Amino acid sequence: MSKPKVLVARAIFPETIERLAQHFEVESNQADEAWSKAGLIERLQGKAGVFTTGSERIDAELLDACPDLKICANMAVGYNNFDTDAMTARGVLGTNAPDVLTETTADFGFALLMATARRIAESEHFLRAGRWQKWAYDMFSGSDIHGSTLGIIGMGRIGQGIARRGAHGFGMKVIYHNRSRLDAALEAECKASYVGKEELLKTADHVVLVVPYTPASHHTIGAAEIALMKPTATLINIARGGIVDDAALALALKERRIAAAGLDVFEGEPKVHPDLLTVPNVVLTPHIASATVPTRKAMADLAVDNLVGYLVKGQPLTPVNPAVLAKN
């Protein structure tokens, strides 16, 4: 019997391709060419599955043009690149890659928080530029992490990981806001107290964003929300581009209405709002929160497991629209 065909949309570990090849006829993109939507659609003809990374938009137009497609396996926990309604309506399963990146991403959130609050990137640029002539008592004074108030918006697995690091490792007071409140045991474990969004913005010394992107979470932080924050506060976005109004943030940073920001994700990335590139009080990283070799391998493995699980064994591991399974 011939093997089902799958497409890997972006360059990936060679061992990921090898694993897929044990079960499927694989077309890959190891040259990491930038495919247009039409190019992606063309390559998806006859394919039962696609391995996506979060950059490929799977929408009604694409699905209608690819009638053989049964599953889109994202190598990412976020899946805002999927139009899940359109997928469900056409019986196409989507899967994501949760859990395997939680601790790595929480580590990075904390690293970005510390780099931002303690002005590590800004002072390093100063040093590299040969501008360090003498020590001064007020050189690059930042804000403390230990003992401060950490406000987390989005208290899923990654948010909880950040809360644990802050509360247990740095003695921070942790407050959070989320669509739903955690159960008491989980709140106690994270040493986190539930507050309204406005209270969080007004009282936190450091605000970390970890909410998934949906139309409802678009611009969770805009000019009005920034205006509520302390002038000494820092804002960290490791969630998704579009959760923050980047233009409003760039202006606020320029006018020092908050102290600093750390951003790993951007509206319209890989483009970055030009004003963010010129303000000194922001740390900018290119969407690398999950980027350690073991974690990226685990994410790729989970995407493969989902493709094999669904197309070969009939049972995916981490479906995002399980209604498709019920229909089958």
Binding site for ligand 8YV (CB under 6 A): 53-54, 75-78, 101, 289-290
Please state, in angstroms and rounded to a whole number, the distance separating the CA atoms of residues 23 and 6: 10
Residue 269 known to be catalytic: yes
Long-range contacts at 166-171 (CB < 8 A, ≥ 24 apart)? 166/110, 167/191, 167/192, 170/145, 170/146, 171/146, 171/147
| Closer Cβ to ligand 8YV, 88 or 104, answer by number | 104
Residue environment code for 78-88, b if the CB has 16+ CB neighbours within 10 A, otherwise e: bbbbbbbebbb
| Closer Cβ to ligand 8YV, 156 or 222, answer by number | 156
Please state, in angstroms and rounded to a whole number, the distance separating the CA atoms of residues 312 and 325: 14
| Closer Cβ to ligand 8YV, 14 or 171, answer by number | 14
Cis peptide before 270 (omega within 30 of 0): yes
- Could you give the 3-state DSSP secondary structure of residue 193? strand
Residue 206 known to be catalytic: no
Nearest-approach distance from CB 77 to ligand 8YV, in angstroms: 4
| Closer Cβ to ligand 8YV, 142 or 262, answer by number | 262
Residue 287 known to be catalytic: yes
Catalytic residue among 43, 57, 90, 287: 287
Nearest-approach distance from CB 83 to ligand 8YV, in angstroms: 16
Alpha-carbon distances, residue 129 vs 3, 133, 280 (angstroms): 57, 11, 14
| Closer Cβ to ligand 8YV, 54 or 319, answer by number | 54
Nearest-approach distance from CB 138 to ligand 8YV, in angstroms: 37
Catalytic residue among 118, 177, 240, 273: 240
Q: Which residues are catalytic?
A: 240, 269, 287
